[in-house]
């Protein structure tokens, strides 16, 4: 097998893994939609974007791009401490509105909006 063929086989395997959406089986008539990981950064004392809209099944990844410690606390999730250059990820399977904040910095807040089809 050539290096190019090996790379193509690896990519196909990765696509199959990320495309299955975990344990939930899609109905046969539904077109498969690959789940995504979408990033929120933390420049200084805010979340960017402040409102992030994703699809059900996607993962939000908060990456601390500042020089100080932050966290991400919502009603059903809590990152604990996120040091500079570290990330916290959470997958959202249920459509809805998920406000969150950093408990260290008053006013540092955001919301994840999860849609069935975003």
Contacting Cu ion within 37-96 (CB under 5 A): 70
Does 104 help bind Cu ion (rule: CB under 5 A)? Answer: yes
> How far apart, in whole angstroms, are the C-alpha atoms of residue 81 and residue 79?
6
- Tell me which stretch binds Cu ion (CB under 5 A): 33-41, 49-57, 75-83, 105-113: 105-113
84-111 burial by CB neighbour count: b if 16+ within 10 A, else e?
A: eeebbebbbeeeeebebbbeebeebbbb
Pick 31 or 67: Cβ nearer Cu ion: 67
- Tell me which stretch binds Cu ion (CB under 5 A): 3-11, 18-26, 55-63, 104-112: 104-112
């Amino acid at each position: 097998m050539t290096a190019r063929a090996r790379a193509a086989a690896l990519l196909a395997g990765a696509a199959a893994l990320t495309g299955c959406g975990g344990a939930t089986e899609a109905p046969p008539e539904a077109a498969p939609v690959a789940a995504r990981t979408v990033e929120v950064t933390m420049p200084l004392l805010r979340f960017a974007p402040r409102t992030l809209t994703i699809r059900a099944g996607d993962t939000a990844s908060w990456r601390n791009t500042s020089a100080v410690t932050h966290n991400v606390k919502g009603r059903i999730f809590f990152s604990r401490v996120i040091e500079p250059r570290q990330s916290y990820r959470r997958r959202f399977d249920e459509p809805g509105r998920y406000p969150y904040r950093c408990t260290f910095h008053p006013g540092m807040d955001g919301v994840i909006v999860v849609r069935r089809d975003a």
